[in-house]
Structures are given as C-alpha cells and as structure tokens.
Amino acid sequence: DFNGDGGPDLAVGGSQGVSIFLGNGDGTFQLAGDFAVGGRPALGLAAGDFNRDGALDLAVVIGAEPVFVLLGRGDGTFQDAQRFATDGFNTVVAVADLNGDGAPDIVTLNYSGSTSISSTTSVLLGNGDGTFQSARVFRSGHTGTFPGAIQVVDFNSDGGLDLGVLNNDGDAGSVISLHLANGDGTFQPARRLATGKDFRGLAADDFDGDGKLDLAVAHNLSTMSTEVYALWVLLGNGDGTVQAPLSFDTNGLPGPAAVGDFTGDGSPDLVVANVRSSVSLFINNTESFWVDMAHVSATGRSVKKTSGCDGCFDASATSRRQIGGNGYAEFTAMETTLIRMGGLARVGTEPQCENIDFGIRLQAGIAEVRENGVYRADTTFVTGDVFRITVQASEVTYAKNGVVFYTSAARASSPLALVGVLANLDATVGNVVIAANP
C-alpha cells in the first residue's frame, strides 16, 4: 500500500526502472509514475519502511553493483534513488529485520567474475532513517554458479532469520546453501543443503504441519534425450538440515515457485510457473487441519461446538500445524455473543483454558487476553475482526486487524499449537491460520 489508502498497489520492474500502479479497490490499477534507478531495468524489488515514517519504501536491484533505495512519500510517489554499495552484480533482493533492532535490513545476492563466477550474499543493516551500514559479505562457498533466489526464514527454530540461497549454473549444476543467523546481523559460513542439475525456483513454508520450515525447489533434470521436470520438497528437521527430497512432476519446464493456500483448508499449497506458458498447482494433502476434537465439528480451518454442556468449557480442538520458533496464529470473530477462547498452547498439554499459554477469550463484544487463565488486557471487537498472536524471537504480541494492542511479559517456548476451547453451543473458532514464520 504505497499511498496509504488501505488497498494493495503494485510495483513493477521494467525498462524505465520502477513503475507504480495504485489500486482502485475493484481489482484494477492506475499508473502513478515511473521512477528511475541507475538508467537500467529493475530486476528485483522488495518493500519495507526503511526510515520508519509509516510510508513503504523500495529496495531495487538492476544487475549492476549498487542496490538502490527509493524512499516513499506516502502518496504513491518516491524520492530520488539513493545508492548503497554491495559486493558485486546484484540479481535478487530481500528485506527483513536481521538483527532484531526493529529497522528493516536489505539482503542482496551478488556475483562477480566472468570466467570463474563467485557468488556472495551482501547484508546491509538499516539505521532506521533510510540509510544503511556498509555491506557485510558472506560467501556461498560455491564457484561457477549464479545466485537465483533467496528465502529469509527461521530454518533452525531459534528465533533468528536465516538465509536460504539458490545458486544455479544450468546444466553445470545447482546448489541450495544455508547461512544460519547469529542474531546480530551476521551469519555462519554456508552449509550445503541440496545439489541438483538445474534448480529454477525456491519457496519455503511448513508443508507437513510439524512446526518446522521446509523447502520446495523447481528442478530441471532433463538430458539431451529425455525431458524430466520436477518439484522437490525438502522437509526440514528444525535444526538447519533437511531430509531427502520428495519429487513431484511439474509437467513442464519449471520456473519460479510460490506458496499459497489455494483451497482454504489452512495448509500451504505450491504453484510453479512453467516456461512454456503453463502453471502447475500442487495441492497439499496433509491430513485434516484439526486433531484431538471433542464435542465439535470441523469445516476446513474452522471448528464449532456441536454437543456437550451449553455454557461449559468441555469442547475443544487442536491444530495439527505447529509453530516451532517464529510464527503466528490468527482467527476471526464469527459473531460477538457466544463464549470461546483461542490461543497458543505447548504441544502435549490438555486442551483447557488454563493450559493456553497465550490466548484470547471472546464474549459479549469483549476480547480478553488470558495467559494460563490469568487476565492480562482486553479490547472490544465486532463480527469479522481478525485476531493474531505472534511469536517473534520468543516475544509474544496480540493484534486486532493488524494493530498490536498488548505485548506479553512472558516468553514463549516451542513447539506451540493453536487450541480452541468453546463454552456455548454453536460457538466457533473460525478461519484459523497457523504460519511457521511471520
């Protein structure tokens, strides 16, 4: 949202640099302007509020050495681009808070050399005022490969954001490497997670619902005589290592891969854009969203009390998906009168209100924060409000419709699952989302 009207906008890289299209709120967009970045086409974009003024800014790479920063004015326009040096030619950019100071940082994937390619990762820590510190450089440990994609997520469940990097040189070979975070904006030497023939796209999520992040990579294994196109899923062990790949046929030469819940069942699905004008969709067939259900019925990501004592907290259900480090759980208030509670509880505890470590109790238009049964804070709510409980580096925050209204004094331990406990008949904990990384 580049102009602060509450609707999504588009930033598109092209021959003129960056083009901004503002949303009209009906699925259409209007061009707001073009913004130059070094006189070359923009190859990669990432958004963040670099000067913390409430307006989204952009980090842009164009294939040349510097990364460009466009500070937003909050009206869909941007100031002139600033340049910040990196380690080489930039191909990919990402934005995240890598040292936990609340200021967005920039990560770029770089390469240098013409005959012997060297791949590196540059980390530019943000000062919070729209400027950045000098790049810290971390080497991939692989020569002859070009950086192609990055995922900035917590691979070892320690609360720090790690860097998963795809390096590719076509038929000459590809590598996925991992830099584990030290928590201060520095990273450990790269460790190799997987090798292949021609990796094309990289995605990350918790695909099997065990609270540990997994990887998916699009893979071209074709030879001169046979065409073999696959999507590999590498299930994470939660310690920065992965299991042997599970392979799925893409039915086309694959390109970028992305994650989304396309069926509304709460499980992450995968989509791959194929080079020859087709798209491959992979629906997650992990078992049902809910386990340990008592006196309830489940419909997708929602659970409703259907039997038991009306007014007694004797109905419950637990999400199969878990949070192993950073992550969040959210649910929607389906109505305002009936009594129910949803929140995060340590896996293995009985599904009771007093065992919910970080919960929200809904009744008569009041949402109360309850931690192990103890009242902490409250806010009002109406039908359709969305509540989110977020764990970030063991700190827990409570938000309504994206606005934090309470920060817990307690620290979270993992793994955690969402538990719904319901008192009244027809009470519902609805549209639950469990994400392994915020």
Report yes or no on whether pTM surpasses 0.85.
no
| Confidence at residue 287, expressed as pLDDT on a 0 to 100 scale | 63
- Within-domain flag for 4: no
* Predicted pLDDT at 114: 58
Does residue 111 fall inside a structural domain? yes
Q: Does 5 fall in a domain? A: no
Say if CB 261 and CB 269 are below 8 A apart.
Answer: yes
pLDDT of residue 291: 86
> In the chain, how many domains are there?
2
Same domain, yes or no: 320 and 355: yes
What's the pLDDT at 226?
78
Mark whether 272 and 297 lie in a shared domain. no
Tell whether 181 is covered by a domain.
yes
Of 282, 311, 327, at which residue does a domain stop? 282
The answer on 304 and 253 residing in a single domain is no
Give the per-residue pLDDT at 220: 85
Report residue 427 as tokens.
């009470």
Question: CA-CA distance, 188 to 190, in Å (whole number)?
Answer: 6
Q: What residues make up the domain containing 383?
A: 290-436
Ranges assigned E (strand) in 173-261: 174-179, 191-196, 199-205, 214-220, 229-234, 246-249, 254-260
Same domain, 228 and 299: no
Domain closes at, from 249, 282, 315: 282
Residues 130 and 195 in one domain: yes
Q: For the sheet containing 327-332, what is the strand order?
A: 296-299, 302-305, 428-435, 327-332, 386-392, 395-400, 403-411
- 410 and 274 in one domain? no
Low-confidence residues of the chain, pLDDT below 70? Answer: 113-117, 141-145, 170-172, 286-288, 437-438
In a domain, residue 183? The reply is: yes
Query: Does residue 65 form part of some domain?
Result: yes
**Residues 223, 338: one domain?**
no
Domain-terminating residue out of 282, 298, 319: 282
Looking at the structure, tell me whether residues 161 and 35 fall in a common domain.
yes
On whether both 327 and 235 belong to a single domain, the answer is: no
145 Cβ contact list (under 8 Å, min separation 6): 117, 119, 167, 168, 169, 172, 173, 174, 175
| pLDDT the model gives residue 348 | 85
Question: Does residue 174 form part of some domain?
Answer: yes
Q: 306 in a domain, yes or no? A: yes
Give the Cβ contact number of residue 14 at 10 Å: 10
253 and 324 in a single domain? The answer is: no
Say which CATH number the domain at 334 has: 2.60.120.920
Residues 337 and 278 in one domain: no
Q: What is the CATH number for 204?
A: 2.130.10.130
Are residues 207 and 265 both part of a single domain? yes
Instruction: For 310-319, write each residue's pLDDT tens digit.
Output: 999 999 999 9
Provide the pLDDT for residue 279. Answer: 92
